[in-house]
Each structure stands twice: as C-alpha cells, then as structure tokens.
Structure 1
Amino acid sequence: MTTGLLEGKTALVTGGSRGVGAGIVARLAADGAKVAFTYANSDKSAASVADAAAAAGGTAHAIHADSLREQDVERAVAHTVDRFGGLDILVNNAGVGSFTTITDLTMDEIDTMLTVNVRSAIVAIRASLTHLGDGGRIINIGSINADRMPFPGGSIYAMTKGALASLTRGLARELAPRGITINNIQPGPVDTDANPADGPAASTMLSVMATDRFGTAAEVGAFVSYLAGPDSAYITGSSLNIDGGFGA
C-alpha cells in the first residue's frame, strides 16, 4: 500500500537489486514514486525487487546496466525518461568495495572502485540534469567511512566516499539556482547479504558504534524517501549520517 508522499514523481536508483539499493527502491515505490533501478548481475534478484514493489501497490522497473560502463549509465537515465515520461529523483547507490592494504590492492581493483563509486555518479548526474527541473532531487549514497575508517584496509574505499561528499557540497552551489537539491547519505554498518549483522566483521564494527546493532536497508530507504520529498527542500549540500553512532 502506497503512502502517496511521492505520488507523481519518477525516480532512478542505481544498483537497486539487492541490499541497501533494494530497500531504497521498496520505500520510494511504497511512497508513490514510479521507480526505475539498475542492476548488473542477477536477473532473478532484480525481478524479485520489481515484483515485491508491485505486490505492495507500487511501480518498479528493472534496467540491466553496468555502472562500470558510461554508456550503460547514460542509457539507464534515457530509458527511465522514455518509460515514465520524466525524471525527478536520482539516487546514486551503486557501489563496490575491496578491503585490503593499499599495496595489496591491484590497480584494477582501485580503478573499479573509482569508476563505480565516483565516476558513475558523475555520469548519472550529468545525464539526469537534462531532465531534472525545479524540485528535483539528487541523493548520493556515500558511507560513514568517508569520515571514519577505524580499521586498516579501507583507505581507497573511504577516499571514494569522501569524493562523493565533496562532489555533493560543490554541486549544491551549481544546482540551487535551478531548484535542485543534492545531498549525500552516509550509512554505517547495514545488515545485508554482503555485510551481515552476524558476519565475521560484525563484532569489530559493533565495538566502535554507540548502538548495539546494525542498521537495516528499510531505515536507509526511509531516509532517502524523506530527502526525496517536499519537506526536505531546505536541505542541500549536506552529508547526513545514518550510522548508529559509528562516527560519534
């Protein structure tokens, strides 16, 4: 059952077939937006996300697109506009991480993180600005690791998320005259298949948090929906933490 908060809006979520991305798709669709989302690998997972949104009374459409490929990202924006007639909300969620020391990372791994975590967001923003108008929303999904990396092995990943925060601040100045806001959400540990709350790294992460639990994809989705909605019009250029006190 939809709430209608985002009724009449169209959203594109990159990397929306699992984990945090799937939670974002579900919430935007539940709040009334027509949602397109990209996925790179599993047709089955993408279909499951779209079917779940439909079963709840919403609309979600999967687009096969690899964020490593500039043309795929641009095509996803064009496809969303063609299917739904416009674009109001862009959520740059696609992201990857390789965690080991900088000398043990390969340059291919570093390039992949830079391309997916930073370059693909820039490509999506550039392509979307042709379509976004007054009241448009851009929401980047960064990481609390941009502010705090309490264990070794995450330097390059943290750098890419720090770049998103800087990009957000800079673009706020460029986009405000057009009535478009841009913000950066920085999740802490979130319980997903890739980072389970009972996984081998969980105890280390919980030891530096104020709360005694991981977050959920639904909680991040709710935060995204708020920033996508009308009540957030005075918020732009901000990096906003949802991290259970990881960065406190």
Structure 2
Amino acid sequence: MTTAFADASLTPVRDLLSLTGRTAVITGAAQGLGKAIASRLAEAGADVLLADIDGERAREAAAEIASRFPARSLGIDMDVTASESVRKAASFVAAELGGIDIWVNNAGVFPSIPVLETQDEEWEQVFAVNTRGVFNGSREAARHMNGSGVIINIISTAGFEGTAPGLASYVGSKHAVRGMTKQMAMEFAPLGIRVLGVAPTFVPTEGTMAAAAMHTGDAGPTSESRTNAVMTGSLMGRLGTPDDVARVVLFCASDLSTIMTGSTLLADAGKTI
C-alpha cells in the first residue's frame, strides 16, 4: 500500500529530528510561546515564518532567530481572524520559502470576563482569534502542503477541563479547537497531512502574566510572584517554560511522531491528572 506516512523504523534519530529542507509557519510568534516554538524549529533546521498581528515585533523576533541559526527566518503581519490576511501570508511563504511543511496555530487571546458581564463582541472576539483563526490557518496550510505536512494547534489544558472563573469564552474556544483537531486529522489524512494538538498548562509569558495579573487583580510590583503562587499546580515542582512547550511542538513537527495524528498532547506537568 502506498502512503504519505512512511515507515521510519530504520531512520537514524538525528534524521528523524531534523527539519532541514522544511518550512514552518508559526502564528502569534512575536513573543512568548510562538517565538520559542519558532526558535526550536529553526534550530532543527526549518526555515521559519513568524506571523503576528504585530508585524514589526514579528520581524524583530525573526531577525533575532536568524542571528542564531542558519535557517531562513522571516517576520510578517498577519491577522488570523481575517481569511484574506491568512491567505496572503500563506501565499507569501509558499512563494518566498518554497512551500509549507509545518503550520503552528499558536495565536490566541484569553480575556477574563465573568459570563454575566461578557458582551457579545467580547465573546465573538475570543472565538474569532482562538477558533476561527485555527480554521483559517489550517485551511490555508493544507492548500499549500504538497502531499505531506503537519498542522499543530496550540490548545490548552482549558480544552480538557473548566478553569478559573471568567474564562468561559476561552474554555469554550479551546474545547472547540480540540474537536477541530480530530476532525481535520480525519479529513486531511488522505492528503498526507497530520494534525496534532499541544495543550500546555499555564506558562509565564509576556501575555499570560499580564492576563493572570489582571485576573487576580494584582498589578503591583510583586504581581509576578503572587501570580506564580496562584497558578502553580505542577506535580513537578515548577511552572513550565515556553521552551518546555516548544520542545513538545518540535516532537510533533518532526518524523519522531509520524504515526500520530488527531491526538492532543498534554504539556501540563501533570495538572490534569
């Protein structure tokens, strides 16, 4: 039987892990998880496109990565909620870097608003970024993947459970993406495309620390230590780091995980046990 998902049993580990010759797009990549993911994929040899609503910061992050690794690294403006913006970005990277092999849907928002205070437009914005953005990115990625590829959705432990009060729209959006990961895996397998999810627990980044401080009502000089204390639920005795999550994404993007599709990997330090 001919299949795009080749048996890699005899492939050396260094080759399984290598992304040399492949191109990766990472959304929401100007900082935090997205930037860490782009760095690890570039270190593994992939050419990377860092896409973000803040194009200037994406270009700065791309220049930093390019100074550290020989792979090509570019930054671009992209609004994941706008299908035309995603289409243009996908066409750009396909033309500029020769195709798309890996697409990481990382962009997300997580405002904390109690259900009874949530306005329609606030709910819609969360789903526009966190859910429609994943759909837009996955659809365009699949259109440009020529017979093989992998799409990786950054979900959250919120895709498995309820979480802090005020996050109904966020939790709903992440449950939706977990379901989309399964459905897209079914639809894209005949195209040679794998679809995987990675679900981190709380990881301190510029964005999550600001959101957590807002949620706890703590914006003072000790907000980081207090927020860390509130959010620490790890069986491993520490919070995760962006690179902890990036290494799991690298596993998903590489041929080490070639037998996997439709799964969501928990990168949660045991939080959801």
Q: Matched residue of 1:201: which SS?
A: helix
**Equivalent residue runs for 1:14-33 within 5 Å:** 14-33=27-46
Match of residue 262, structure 2, among 224, 232, 237: 237
Deviations 1:67-100 (A, max 9, x none): 2322111111111101111111111111011112
Q: Which residue pairs with 2:243 in the alignment?
A: 218
8 Å contact from structure 1 (residues 133, 180) kept in 2? no
Match of residue 230, structure 2, among 182, 195, 204: 204
Q: Which amino acid aligns with 2:61?
A: V
Cα distance in structure 2, aligned partners of 1:102 and 1:201 = 22
TM-score for both structures, normalised by structure 1: 0.92
Cα distance in structure 1, aligned partners of 2:76 and 2:63 = 14
Q: Which amino acid aligns with 1:31?
A: A
After TM superposition, give the deviation of residue 199 of structure 1 in Å: 5.2
Q: Which residue pairs with 2:113 in the alignment?
A: 100
Identity %: 30
After TM superposition, give the deviation of residue 231 of structure 1 in Å: 1.4
After TM superposition, give the deviation of residue 60 of structure 1 in Å: 1.3
Residue 72 (str. 1) matches residue 98 (str. 2):
no
Residue 83 (str. 1) matches residue 96 (str. 2):
yes
Q: Which residue pairs with 2:60 in the alignment?
A: 48
8 Å contact from structure 1 (residues 9, 89) kept in 2? yes
8 Å contact from structure 1 (residues 91, 140) kept in 2? yes
Q: Matched residue of 1:161: which SS?
A: helix
After TM superposition, give the deviation of residue 132 of structure 1 in Å: 1.1
After TM superposition, give the deviation of residue 134 of structure 1 in Å: 3.3
TM-score for both structures, normalised by structure 2: 0.84
Q: Which amino acid aligns with 1:228?
A: A
Q: Matched residue of 1:11: which SS?
A: strand
8 Å contact from structure 1 (residues 209, 247) kept in 2? no
Q: Matched residue of 2:49: which SS?
A: strand
After TM superposition, give the deviation of residue 200 of structure 1 in Å: 4.3
Cα distance in structure 1, aligned partners of 2:41 and 2:255 = 13
Q: Rate the CA distance shift 1:113–1:200 in 2: closer, same or farther, 3 A.
A: farther
Q: Which amino acid aligns with 1:224?
A: V
Structure 1 runs (4+) deviating above 3 angstroms are none
Q: Rate the CA distance shift 1:209–1:100 in 2: closer, same or farther, 3 A.
A: farther
Cα distance in structure 2, aligned partners of 1:69 and 1:117 = 12
Query: Alpha carbon RMSD of aligned pairs, Å?
Result: 1.7
Q: Which residue pairs with 2:172 in the alignment?
A: 159
Cα distance in structure 2, aligned partners of 1:100 and 1:192 = 20
After TM superposition, give the deviation of residue 42 of structure 1 in Å: 5.8
Deviations 1:2-29 (A, max 9, x none): x981000011111111100000111111
Q: Matched residue of 2:206: which SS?
A: coil
Q: Which amino acid aligns with 2:251?
A: Y
After TM superposition, give the deviation of residue 41 of structure 1 in Å: 2.2
Cα distance in structure 2, aligned partners of 1:140 and 1:165 = 8
